[in-house]
Amino acid sequence: MSDENKSIHEFDFSLICEYFSGMERQGPGSPEVTVKALSFIDNLTEKSRIADIGCGTGGQTIVMAKNAPGTITGVDLFPDFIKQLENNAVKHHLGDRIKGITASMDNLPFQEEEFDLIWSEGAIYNIGFERGLNEWRKYLKPGGYIAVTEASWFTNERPSEIEEFWIDAYPEINTIPAKVTQLQNAGYIPVATFILPENCWTDHFYALQVQAQENFLKKHTGNKAAAELVANECREARLYSRFKEYYGYVFFIGKKI
Ligand code: SAH
């Protein structure tokens, strides 16, 4: 299909997908943080079933498979990301423990009480933290865990510039105690929360984009949507470096009761 025949939505979708597809991660995080979050999960065995929702190309899925027993089902809306997840799994000799499914997180093809652990890094915002926690709970066995990262405020107040950016980007952003209350109200014991270190944004996310941006812009010279996408990512990185005391990603880990 030529670009002219695509709706703006499809066009943006495939551009976004292409922009992020060469990268190890599509959101802030790091292998160390995934391993740290896993250290709070105490129910896993070789028979365990794990879902990684909004897995992207599988940066964290591979780390999980290397550091926890059981089999992992990675789910993402983009078929290209799922293809890359599966290729990565084979490359790491984990093809028998990781499988990918293309599906939307608001309509998951899962059975009730199918999973011991539901994982989601940098992705639950697509349906909203509260909605995701409530809707996904039924897929967990009693005593199963949920572990998600979510954008959160670190303070009660913050400069209006960053407040306005986030209210526009993700109005559900809130303070850590407010999010913990939502986790508890959704029927989970709040087991742990911790703030992702700065390098999850800088070294593991924005720095990886710099080289990719150059190639991407070269390939799409003259394409306004591509230029806007890159400009947006750069703006986000600049905002992060100016306002990182006020917000960041937080791991929220809960146990279904
Ligand atoms: N977990 C990965 C990717 C985070 S980016 C990482 O941390 O690197 C968010 C991911 O959510 C993207 O891969 C995007 O394709 C996926 N996504 C967006 N909307 C979705 C939906 N409705 N259902 C499933 N996945 C979705």
Nearest Cα residue to atom 10 of ligand 1: 54
* CA–CA gap between residue 25 and residue 209 (Å, rounded): 10
Which residues, including other chains, have CB under 8 Å from residue 212's CB and lie 6 or more apart? 19, 22, 23
Find out whether the beta carbon of 126 lies less than 6 Å from any atom of ligand 1. Answer: yes
The overall average pLDDT reported for the chain is 94
Q: What is the pLDDT of residue 211?
A: 82
Please give the tally of structural domains in the chain: 1
- Total Cβ atoms within 10 A of residue 228: 12
Q: What is the pLDDT of residue 22?
A: 79
The mean per-residue pLDDT over the stretch 65-90 comes to 97
Find out whether the beta carbon of 247 lies less than 6 Å from any atom of ligand 1. Answer: no
Closest C-alpha among 254, 249, 252 to residue 173: 249
Full residue range of the structural domain in which residue 159 is found: 3-256
Weakest mean pLDDT among 6-10, 120-124, 197-201, 231-235: 6-10
Which residue of 26, 73, 120, 251 sits with most ligand 1 atoms within 8 Å of its CB, as the best mutation to test the pocket? 26
H or E segment at 113?
none
Cβ pair 190, 184 in contact under 8 A: yes
Find out whether the beta carbon of 180 lies less than 6 Å from any atom of ligand 1. Answer: no
Nearest Cα residue to atom 22 of ligand 1: 104
The atom number, within ligand 1, closest to the CA of 122 reads 4
At 102, give phi and psi (nearest 5°). Answer: -90, 115
Say which CATH number the domain at 248 has. 3.40.50.150
Closest C-alpha among 195, 205, 215 to residue 237: 205
What amino acid is encoded at 153 in this protein? Answer: W
* CA–CA gap between residue 236 and residue 155 (Å, rounded): 19
The helix-helix angle for 129-136 and 176-185 (nearest 10°) equals 30
Nearest Cα residue to atom 19 of ligand 1: 126
Q: What is the pLDDT of residue 81?
A: 95
Give the model confidence (pLDDT) of 182-197 as tens digits. Answer: 999 999 999 999 999 9
% of the chain at pLDDT higher than 90: 88
Indicate the burial class of 223 (C-beta count within 10 angstroms; 0-12, 13-18, 19 or more).
middle
Full-model pTM:
0.94
Find out whether the beta carbon of 74 lies less than 6 Å from any atom of ligand 1. Answer: no
What amino acid is encoded at 172 in this protein? Answer: E
The helix-helix angle for 59-67 and 79-91 (nearest 10°) equals 40
Instruction: Give Cα 81 to chain centroid, integer Å.
Output: 13
* CA–CA gap between residue 194 and residue 33 (Å, rounded): 9
What is residue 44's three-state secondary structure?
Answer: coil
Closest C-alpha among 143, 105, 122, 14 to residue 61: 122
- Band of residue 10 on the pLDDT scale cut at 50, 70, 90: low
Asked if residue 5 has pLDDT above 80, the reply is no
